[in-house]
Amino acid sequence: MRTTKLIAACALLVGASASFAQDIQRNPLQNVAQLSASGSVEVQQDLLSISMSTSAGGSDANAVQAQLKQALDTALTQAKQAAAPGQMEVRTGNFSLYPRYNKDGKINGWQGSTELVLEGKDFSRITTTAGKIQTLTLANVSFALSREQRARVEGEAQAQAIERFKAKAVEVAKGFGFGGYTLREVSINANEQGYPPRPRVMAMQAKSEMADAAVPVEAGKSTVLVNVSGSVQMR
């Protein structure tokens, strides 16, 4: 009984879809306009990420691994002392160890690297901690928007885009001699366009010269762009 009802329901759905398609062919959509509008908000980047790393090489894989582990453990212990939720998160990054080959294709040594990442909103805490770490060197500095900042700015850009879409719909409808419109369908998508960060990290001095000195950085800005597109029925 249940199977019979299911077959009947599917047949009814197929019949309705076919009927709708035939109706569209007989009565094509009229007075429908396709529109799009966008809104954008530029905001200061509030999330800093500093990657620190070191590499090592040698003939013995275990010795190379131990050297990397010691450098990472020392840096990790030091960084954790300054860690604070949301302000500075500490995590390990890539840890690799791979063989080196001579011209005959035989292993003649090992090479490896390790990475530590400091990330958060407290730029001063992060850069100061990075400057104190002596077992790793600066590898990369990047900026972005925090989740909270992006959500807030995206809401502003979306409201802006929707208002522009509505205004354009009214303008187009009136331009064609209609009194108004009704919304048929709409899609909204957002993306972030980041300007290249401007880390004021010039040539790194010797570690002995910059010990305990904060790594100098300068955040850039990001633009959150929201696009609204869809169709309206002019009436």
106 shares its domain with 86: yes
74 shares its domain with 24: no
Edge to edge, what strands does the sheet with 107-120 contain? 89-101, 107-120, 47-58, 137-144
Rounded Cα distance, 160 and 40, in Å: 8
60 shares its domain with 108: yes
Q: Does some domain include residue 130?
A: yes
Q: Does some domain include residue 74?
A: yes
138 shares its domain with 52: yes
List b or e across 160-186, with b for residues whose CB sees 16 or more CB atoms inside 10 angstroms: bbbebbbebbeebbeeeebeebeeeee
> Residue 94: CB partners within 8 Å, gap ≥ 6?
53, 113, 114, 115
Q: Does some domain include residue 87?
A: yes
67 shares its domain with 128: yes
Per-residue pLDDT of the chain (235 residues; tens, 9 = 90+): 544 444 544 444 445 445 544 544 555 578 999 999 999 999 999 999 999 999 999 999 999 999 999 999 999 999 999 999 989 999 999 999 999 999 988 999 999 999 999 999 999 999 999 999 999 999 999 999 999 999 999 999 999 999 999 999 999 999 999 999 999 999 999 887 765 544 444 333 434 444 566 778 888 889 999 999 999 999 9
Q: Does some domain include residue 206?
A: no
Torsion-angle region of 31 (φ positive above 0: left; ψ -120 to 50: alpha; else: beta): left
109 shares its domain with 86: yes
Q: Does some domain include residue 118?
A: yes
Chain centroid to CA 45: 12
- The pLDDT value given to residue 214: 77
Q: Which domain holds residue 15?
A: 1-29
Cβ(100)–Cβ(110) below 8 Å: yes
The amino acid sitting at 143 is: F
For position 82, which CATH number holds?
Answer: 3.30.70.360
138 shares its domain with 162: no
Domain total of the chain? 3
> Residue 199: CB partners within 8 Å, gap ≥ 6?
141, 216, 217, 218
116 shares its domain with 139: yes
For position 188, which CATH number holds?
Answer: 3.30.110.170
> Residue 185: CB partners within 8 Å, gap ≥ 6?
230, 231
Chain centroid to CA 181: 37
The CA–CA distances, whole Å, from 27 to 19, 21, 30, 40, 231 equal: 12, 10, 8, 39, 18
Q: Does some domain include residue 85?
A: yes
The CA–CA distances, whole Å, from 68 to 33, 58, 91 equal: 63, 11, 16
In degrees, rounded to 5, the angle at the alpha carbon of residue 15 between the alpha carbons of residues 12 and 21 is 140
Is the torsion defined by CA of 68, 74, 80, 82 positive or negative?
negative
160 shares its domain with 196: yes
Residue (of 48, 195, 13) closest to 126 by Cα position: 48
139 shares its domain with 51: yes
Q: Does some domain include residue 165?
A: yes
104 shares its domain with 176: no
- The pLDDT value given to residue 20: 43
125 shares its domain with 194: no
Q: Does some domain include residue 157?
A: yes
